């Protein structure tokens, strides 16, 4: 595991106003916790630059020198949590875990691919499903990253955690059956053919029936019979 060194200053005061002032001055509030350790510190600008250079990696052992007036105390720590500003995404707080170089720890290390998958060259789509592995081991035995050669990966094939080996006394905690990367058949977008306009059926011609005349009305329209002429005697 990689190892870097940064300085920190013990904080005697806490609270929103204190941490806001620290950030304005270019420092970051942080805490260190572990066995019999619980300290509030601030990381000066130079230390923050060092952490940025290692991308705030959890797999890096940090030799932290904490100053309190004229006293200095050194702790081996690793980053366990990072808080970001919701709008600017800037780091606003850090949690460090004090570790022992003689005791095993569990951390996450990034996955890095080497080569170009054969299946991707042949038109397949490379899909990465895992970006890091959880491993357990002594702090200085744990690698900074795990490299995986994917050049032989063909279409329809996948690489799983069980295919990965890490040298040294380091155990992979991530389930062996989890897939890391796969090459799938590239999806072809089907051309949408507009449906033919359906012929609008003509409405059947309605033949109107001859209106029946009511009997009473029809009787009125009939000619009245002529009165019989009186015959002369």
Q: What is the block-wise mean pLDDT of the chain (233 residues), using blocks of 10 residues? A: 87 80 88 90 92 89 90 92 91 94 93 94 94 94 92 95 91 96 79 56 56 51 51 45
Pair 67, 114 in one domain: no
- Give the DSSP H/E element, type plus range, for residue 53: helix 45-53
For position 3, what pLDDT does the model report?
A: 80
Contacts of 55 (CB under 8 A, 6+ apart): none
The verdict on residue 49 lying in a domain is yes
Judging by DSSP bridges, how do beta strands 28-34 and 91-98 pair with one another? Answer: parallel
- In angstroms and rounded to an integer, the radius of gyration of the C-alpha atoms of the chain is 42
The verdict on residue 31 lying in a domain is yes
Domain that holds residue 152: 106-184
The verdict on residue 223 lying in a domain is no
Q: For residue 145, what is the domain's CATH number?
A: 2.170.120.20
Where is the domain boundary, 49, 72, 99?
A: 99
Instruction: Give the whole-angstrom CA distance, residue 160 versus residue 181.
Output: 7
Pair 90, 125 in one domain: no
Q: For residue 81, what is the domain's CATH number?
A: 2.40.240.10
The verdict on residue 170 lying in a domain is yes
Where is the domain boundary, 99, 121, 156?
A: 99
Pair 83, 111 in one domain: no
- Is residue 50 classed as helix, strand or coil in its secondary structure? helix
Pair 94, 13 in one domain: yes
Instruction: Give the whole-angstrom CA distance, residue 114 versus residue 117.
Output: 9
Pair 27, 74 in one domain: yes
Pair 51, 136 in one domain: no
Where is the domain boundary, 50, 76, 99?
A: 99
Phi-psi region of 219 (alpha: psi -120 to 50; beta: other; left: phi over 0): alpha
**Angle at alpha carbon of residue 208, lines to 202 and 210, rounded to 5°:** 165
Instruction: Give the whole-angstrom CA distance, residue 74 versus residue 118.
Output: 49
For position 135, what pLDDT does the model report?
A: 96
Tokens representing 24 are 């304005």
Whole-prediction pTM value?
0.70
Instruction: Give the whole-angstrom CA distance, residue 82 versus residue 183.
Output: 33
For position 118, what pLDDT does the model report?
A: 93
Q: For the chain, what is the domain count?
A: 2
Instruction: Give the whole-angstrom CA distance, residue 50 versus residue 48.
Output: 5
The verdict on residue 178 lying in a domain is yes
- What does each C-alpha distance from 106 to 80, 83, 136, 141, 142 come to in angstroms? 11, 20, 4, 12, 9
């Amino acid at each position: 595991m990689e190892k870097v060194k940064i300085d920190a200053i013990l904080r005697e005061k806490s609270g929103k106003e204190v941490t806001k002032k620290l950030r304005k001055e270019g420092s970051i509030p942080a805490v260190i916790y572990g066995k019999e350790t619980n300290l509030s510190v601030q990381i000066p600008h130079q230390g923050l630059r060092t952490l940025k250079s290692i991308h705030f990696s959890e797999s890096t052992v940090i030799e932290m020198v904490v100053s309190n007036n004229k006293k200095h105390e050194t702790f081996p720590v690793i980053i366990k949590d990072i808080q970001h500003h919701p709008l600017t995404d800037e780091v606003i707080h850090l949690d460090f875990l004090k570790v022992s170089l003689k005791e095993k720890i569990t951390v996450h290390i990034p996955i890095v691919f080497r080569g170009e998958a054969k299946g991707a060259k042949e038109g397949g789509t490379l899909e990465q499903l895992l970006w890091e592995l959880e491993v357990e081991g002594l702090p200085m035995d744990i690698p900074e990253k795990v490299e995986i050669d994917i050049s032989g990966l063909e279409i329809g094939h996948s690489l799983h955690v069980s295919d990965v080996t890490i040298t040294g006394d380091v155990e992979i905690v991530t389930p062996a059956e989890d897939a890391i990367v796969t090459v799938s058949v590239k999806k072809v977008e089907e051309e949408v053919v507009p449906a033919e306009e359906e012929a609008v059926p003509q409405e059947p011609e309605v033949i109107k029936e001859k209106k029946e005349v009511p009997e009473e009305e029809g009787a009125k329209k009939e000619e009245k019979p002529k009165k019989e002429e009186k015959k002369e005697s």
